[in-house]
Amino acid sequence: MKFGKTFETHLTIEWRQQYMRYTDLKTLIRRGVDGAPTESETTPDQLLEYYASFEEHFFAECQHELTRVNNFFLEKMAEARRKHGTLKLQLLATAHATGHVSRSHTRSQNQSRSHSQLPSPRASVVSMPSTSSNRKLMTQRQLRSAYTEFYLTLVLLQNFQSLNETGFRKICKKYDKYLKSNHGALWLERHLTYIAFVDRRPLQQMTIEVEELYTHYLAAGDRAKAMTKLRVPPLGEPTPPPMVFRAGLALGMFIMLALAALFSYLRRPPITDNIEAFMRLYRGPFTWVIFNFFMAANVAGWQRAGVNHVLIFEIDPRSHLQPATFLEIACTFGMLWTLSMLGFLFHDLINVTDPFVFPLALTLIMITLLINPLPIMNWPARWWTMRLVGRVITAPLHYVGFADFWMGDQMNSLVTCMADYYYIVRFYAVCWLRYSNVNSCFDEDMFVPISRCLPAWFRFAQCLRRFSDSGSKSLSYLLNAGKYSTTFFVVFFSTMRGRTDVSCRWLCEYVLQSLHVVLHHQLHRVERVQLSVGCVQGLWHLSDLAGRAFVPPGEARLSAVLLLLCHPRESRAASLLGHRVRCALPQADHALQYQDLRQHPGDNASLHLELHSAGERASEQLRTLSGHARHSPGCPQSDAGTHAGAYDDGPRAEAR
């Protein structure tokens, strides 16, 4: 591999702008050579003048890059020294507080010799008593985490030092090659030999001291154990061939099993009563397969694009997963998934009476593989995933980071599967082995909408927590929270539209009743006719809209009229008409008009004429519907006939 590609592959992404511009300097050399005039076009003096001007410009650029790289290195070294001193004080103070000194005398001679080279804990603590007394001591676990992170920083700084030094040597060598001179080597010897960032001794000494401190105080003198915790894999290390082979083998097996499951379903589908259960029980576990496939594609894309996802997601660089590992995990889950489906489809051929044991076994195996606490099968990655999911669920209780946001967004993308997980739990906890027909076990209940709202609630809580933690109190967090809160309304109204039971149909009327109470208190000084004419029209259209969404239009319309026109002192007539709400809609409309006319005999003539015409039309409707009302279910024949007759010709008499 050429050094240009090696340079781009091995550099630390977050420090990309601080490295020397190797590619730009190489391009500058090529342009200088290609743009040089030929001997036939110019004189030798002009040619020498051109190369002298280009040499001056090129080495000026090299000097600028060298100064910039050296300044950044010195800045990082100063930060490393300060952090190293702070951690050393914390480590020695913790060792002195826990009595580590007394236990160290029992070690072997080799360990005692290494201990004699280290600073005395008691002397260090005594020399700076204010540091240990004013600062809270770190625990052993916190010290291990801090030292592994600090050691990683030293390794990255060593890589920065090595890559830039090699880059300057390569670019000067390339300059001498293309321009056939030795000025590049002379400039390198004159400027690079004594500059600070090429001196590797201070950084190496600090690295060795960190290893010794970690081995002696945090690894009980076991250097192999200490280096296992501290050692960082080489940057840009290619995927090991055995890992690629395993991933390819698992992918091939999964494809063959998936095709076999597809053809088996087409040729031998489950019985009709089990099809919905089959789909519900296998759609949820399939998300484990597709999620890992997409993770393999994402990690591969991030690595190609130079995105340091290990740093962004705060993953331990010693245990992060390669794309081939994600592919292997996805194919392993996929093979379990397809084998379980084949067992469900051919359960009778293998003498298994109940096919639903296969989805249960699949779910339990997947959960066991995830939560298995043994340090096998990528335990650090599994623990990171479980911890991240737990942080998302308990979002309002702690600070929210980028990885928490990312996992919350993934859950929102898989919101349908959240309901599938609930169906699986409910099926095996309530319905399995109790009902012969399992289709009713997958009917929607009140917890299904709640499960669909959970991912949106997680992100909503995360946004509120970020708004609370942000010093600027940016409104963007509140706007983002409002965006996710709309999911609650979407789920609510979609659930209400899908329901057809009585309680849900009348919920809209309860809302209108509350609106009536507000209007009654706000407009109690307005005349009753104005309230009827102005507000009923608005509620009439509102009830039409609500009726089309939730309830039959006639019922919602009648409810609005009843709630608005029936004055509290007319409770008897209101209760009577409300009891007839499903049986005699035209009768109730007629009755209300009749009551209004009786209570306002002094109204203008146009109102009397309008109600008189309405009474004429209603009387004809009552004569036609009275016979139907007698035979309507839930309406007593005597009551229907009596009230139909009682209201007959009422408006005519009152008009006269």
Q: What is the full DSSP assignment across 579-628?
A: HTTTT-HHHHHHHHHHHHHHH-TTS-HHHHHHHHHHHHHHHHHHHHHHHH
379-393 vs 357-371: helix crossing angle, rounded to 10: 100
**Do 57 and 152 belong to one domain?**
yes
CA–CA separation, 420 and 74 (whole Å): 56
Tokens of 217: 């105080």
* Domain count within the chain: 2
Tokens of 312: 């962004």
Q: Residue 125 pLDDT > 60, yes or no?
A: no
**Do 371 and 451 belong to one domain?**
yes
Structural domain including 64 reads: 3-99+138-230
Q: Which among 521, 551, 581 is the end of a domain?
A: 551
The pLDDT, as a whole number, for residue 518 is 56
**Do 226 and 250 belong to one domain?**
no
| Max avg pLDDT among 40-44, 203-207, 224-228, 556-560 | 203-207
**86 part of a folded domain:** yes
The pLDDT, as a whole number, for residue 63 is 93
- The whole-number average pLDDT for the span 505-526 is 53
**640 part of a folded domain:** no
The pLDDT, as a whole number, for residue 437 is 76
- The whole-number average pLDDT for the span 421-437 is 87
Tokens of 53: 């001007």
Q: Which among 551, 574, 591 is the end of a domain?
A: 551
**Do 270 and 186 belong to one domain?**
no
507-522 vs 553-565: helix crossing angle, rounded to 10: 30
- The whole-number average pLDDT for the span 219-243 is 81
**120 part of a folded domain:** no
pLDDT band at 515 (very low <50, low <70, confident <90, very high): low
The pLDDT, as a whole number, for residue 169 is 92
CB 653 within 8 A of CB 594: no
Look at residue 182 and give its three-state secondary structure.
Answer: coil
**Do 159 and 250 belong to one domain?**
no
**414 part of a folded domain:** yes
**516 part of a folded domain:** yes
Tokens of 248: 């390819």
Tokens of 23: 């590619």
* Residue corresponding to tokens 């036939």: 40
Give φ, ψ of 75 to 5 degrees.
Answer: -65, -45
**124 part of a folded domain:** no
CB atoms within 10 A of CB 256: 12
**Do 189 and 220 belong to one domain?**
yes
CB 22 within 8 A of CB 5: no
**Do 498 and 355 belong to one domain?**
yes
- The whole-number average pLDDT for the span 258-275 is 92
pLDDT band at 352 (very low <50, low <70, confident <90, very high): very high
Look at residue 525 and give its three-state secondary structure.
Answer: coil
Tokens of 392: 């998302």
**566 part of a folded domain:** no
CA–CA separation, 436 and 226 (whole Å): 60
pLDDT band at 66 (very low <50, low <70, confident <90, very high): very high
**Do 200 and 290 belong to one domain?**
no
Which residues are within 8 A (CB) of 536 and not within 5 positions of it... i.e. 6 or more apart? 560, 561, 564, 565
The pLDDT, as a whole number, for residue 521 is 55
**Do 208 and 327 belong to one domain?**
no
DSSP character at residue 214: I
**Do 276 and 209 belong to one domain?**
no
**520 part of a folded domain:** yes
**Do 300 and 199 belong to one domain?**
no
Q: Which among 527, 551, 575 is the end of a domain?
A: 551
CB 275 within 8 A of CB 360: no
**Do 93 and 172 belong to one domain?**
yes
Closest CA to 423 of 388, 457, 447: 447
- How does pLDDT run across 587-628, given as a tens digit for each residue? 444 444 444 444 444 444 454 455 456 555 655 654 554 454
